[in-house]
Amino acid sequence: MMDRSLIFAANWKMNLGPTEARRYAERFLSLTSPIKSRSLWFFPPAVSLGALCEATRGRADLRIGMQNVHWEPKGAFTGETSIPMAMEAGAGAILAGHSERRQLFGETDEYVARKTKAALNLGVTPLVCVGETLGERDGGRTESVIVRQLTPVVDALEPAEWNRVVLAYEPVWAIGTGKNATPDDAAQIHELIRMELGRNGVAVRVPILYGGSVNSGNVLSLLARPQLDGVLVGGASLDPEGWAELVGLS
Ligand code: 13P
């Protein structure tokens, strides 16, 4: 089925400290081998990033990224990590606009655009997340919410920069709830996102991952849709055996 290139991204959220990350890496590496058509991305907590990078050195199919960064290179921003610092520790990607950052920590559409632009300027890949809440979906506002979330990013980027961006569609109602979007729903929103980018002069085909309660039982039916270029996974990525199994299914 999978003759295309897929991204399997693990977002560990606030789980797995440096010691656990090293242990995870050892086990995961022993269970997987590089496959040309598959990239494996990990977003550990910031304090575990260095340990995970060291423990996975030499595996070119792996990319390690930050769950959150600031767009400024340095300064008086207590609690934040800059992109150059993250790169020095081994980061090759960043998440921007994860719904938990948006909902719990006040990350605005504007911040998401700044982080995305800063990542591109510095040469790390931004993985930009969009998605609607249940209320927005029930109110028929999915499309307008996604367009609203995308607009500042579209405005900040040159059309050509989009060939270095990855997007994730993560409906908030599907995150950590065990209720994933159906493959049809996900495919439809991915198309909507692509249409919106096209309308704004983005000619490249931007990879779009789906996230929200992905597990070994539903990943194949989701990835059977050509509109999906991979998955962004929280809970099901936290144990190395389960994650190795999931990324091996395709
Ligand atoms: P779950 O896979 O736990 O639903 O989380 C999805 C997510 O938020 C990944 O970024």
Q: How far apart are CA 232 and CA 170, in angstroms?
A: 8
pLDDT tens for each residue of the chain, 250 residues long: 456 899 999 999 999 999 999 999 999 999 999 999 999 999 999 999 999 999 999 999 999 999 999 999 999 999 999 999 999 999 999 999 999 999 999 999 999 999 999 999 999 999 999 999 999 999 999 999 999 999 999 999 999 999 999 999 999 999 888 888 899 999 999 999 999 999 999 999 999 999 999 999 999 999 999 999 999 999 999 999 999 999 999 7
Q: How far apart are CA 64 and CA 91, in angstroms?
A: 5
Identify the CA nearest to 169 among candidates 232, 234, 94: 232
φ/ψ of 91, rounded to 5, equals: -70, 140
Give the three-class secondary structure for 126: strand
Active site residues: 98, 170
The preferred substitution site among 170, 172, 180, 216 for testing ligand 1, maximizing ligand atoms within 8 Å of CB, is: 170
Question: In angstroms, what is the span from residue 159 Cα to ligand 1's centroid?
Answer: 29
The string of DSSP letters for 46-101 reads: HHHHHHHHHHTTT-TTEEEEES--BSSSSSS-TT--BHHHHHHTT--EEEE--HHH
Residue 9: CB within 6 Å of ligand 1? no
**CA-proximal residue: ligand 1, atom 5 (nearest):** 234
Q: How far apart are CA 163 and CA 145, in angstroms?
A: 23
Count of other CB atoms within 10 angstroms of residue 234 = 22
Domains of the chain: 6-249 (3.20.20.70)
Q: How far apart are CA 145 and CA 49, in angstroms?
A: 32
Q: How far apart are CA 117 and CA 250, in angstroms?
A: 32
Q: Are 159 and 129 in contact (CB under 8 A)?
A: no
pTM, full prediction = 0.96
Q: What is the DSSP letter of 173?
A: G
Question: In angstroms, what is the span from residue 171 Cα to ligand 1's centroid?
Answer: 10
Please give the number of the atom of ligand 1 that sits closest to the Cα of 175: 4
The preferred substitution site among 167, 175, 237 for testing ligand 1, maximizing ligand atoms within 8 Å of CB, is: 175
The letter for the amino acid at 102 is R
Q: Are 236 and 242 in contact (CB under 8 A)?
A: yes
